[in-house]
Amino acid sequence: DAIALVEEIEKGEPLITASCKEHIIHLVRRLQEKLEEKEDHKFYLFKVLRAHILPLTNVAFNKSGSRFITGSYDRTCKVWDTASGEELRTLEGHGNVVYAIAFNNPYGDKIATGSFDKTCKLWSTETGKCYHTFRGHSAEIVCLSFNLQSTLVATGSMDTTAKLWDIEKGEEVVTLSGHSAEIIALSFNTTGDRIITGSFDHIVAVWEVGTGRLLHTLIGHRGEISSAQFNWDCSLIVTGSMDKTCMLWNAMTGTHIATLTGHSDEILDVCFDYAGQRIATASADGSARVYNAETKECIAKLEGHGGEISKVCFNPKGNRILTASSDKTARLWDAATGHYLQILEGHTDEIFSCAFNYKGDIIITGSKDNTCRIWH
């Protein structure tokens, strides 16, 4: 009952006044409609983009999915129009591989590129102008992320440090040092006051963004960290490791909650759904798994790929899972049952990147075959 729900929220939320109550009831009803929509969307290949002359490194959407970007060994990042599949601009200026790329979602007016040339550049999505070049790392930048507030960009490097940079001023804010090996994963929480870094030293560190203070070290994995993420309400952290396990941690205290086991080889990627209720893992054993974040039970095994799965993601609604594999295919699965729904075939080499747009009706896959495919 939408009205009862909003009245319940109203009791505990002083920001919800009588004047905006009607609007919130309307939003809750829209959400109900969305959740009830029957979904049997079949994806078809819309376009193959011969994106770069050298292999791609990564692909990323803006929030609405109207634009996406590709990074490449050819030292450029390209901006594409999703609807037409046309190249809008090429961001040139790096002296080496453009490896890590991101939009400042939800805004999408800026792009950050992290390169093996040890710098990170900040660009205008609309004009392609380079606002800033962030210098300071002494080795390759391999991961980066904007905070949701779009005030900072974080870079993680092979030099064992991560750095936070001020987007407006174009200056370094703080260096996060403490790891004893390369940092290959980093992630802000939703509120933007914490950031986690995952390293080849087997440790995930939790840092306070404002001060750069080390708050917690999540110690327990026995292999390199491959991936680490907060859930949406910032209460949990999930980590995946080469030790074949995935671990769940209390984000506030840094204490270990559970170890999710079952994979027979390295875990290459982990993620939460938006609601933070489910966790998906992708492994070199060729399978993916879905765990319930509350009960820690494995609720589904996604089996069928003929090679390692390097990427896994939920659609925004949380009812579908997409996996990208070295078997040259991507697969779509039902998140609740683990049944496979569709195989996206056609790439001629391994797929290392896949993404949904925010509506969940467009998929992009990036492959070692130097192409990017748009599926509708």
The pLDDT-based confidence of 226 (bands split at 50, 70, 90) is very high
Q: Under CATH, which architecture does the 226-345 domain have?
A: 7 Propeller (2.130)
User: How much is the average pLDDT of 147-155?
Assistant: 97
Strands in 171-176's sheet, in edge-to-edge order, are: 141-146, 152-157, 162-166, 171-176
Round to whole Å and give the CA distance between 207 and 328: 37
DSSP state of 5: H
What are the boundaries of each domain within the chain?
Answer: 1-28, 226-345
Q: What sign does the dihedral 149-58-354-108 (CA atoms) show?
A: positive
Strand, helix or coil for residue 306? coil
Q: Among residues of the chain, what percentage have pLDDT more than 90? A: 88
pLDDT in tens, 232-253: 999 999 999 999 999 999 999 9
Q: Among residues of the chain, what percentage have pLDDT more than 70? A: 100
Round to whole Å and give the CA distance between 162 and 291: 30
pLDDT in tens, 340-373: 999 999 999 999 999 999 889 999 999 999 999 9
Name the residue among 299, 273, 192, 200 with its Cα closest to residue 242: 200
Inter-CA distances, 23 with 18, 29, 37, 317, Å = 10, 10, 21, 22
Cis-peptide, bond into residue 55, ω within 30° of zero: no
Is residue 276 predicted with pLDDT exceeding 80? yes
Residue 108 gets the label, from left (phi > 0), alpha (psi -120 to 50) or beta, of left
**Residue 240: how many CB atoms within 10 A of its CB?**
31
pTM of the model: 0.93
For the chain, what is the radius of gyration of the CA atoms? 20
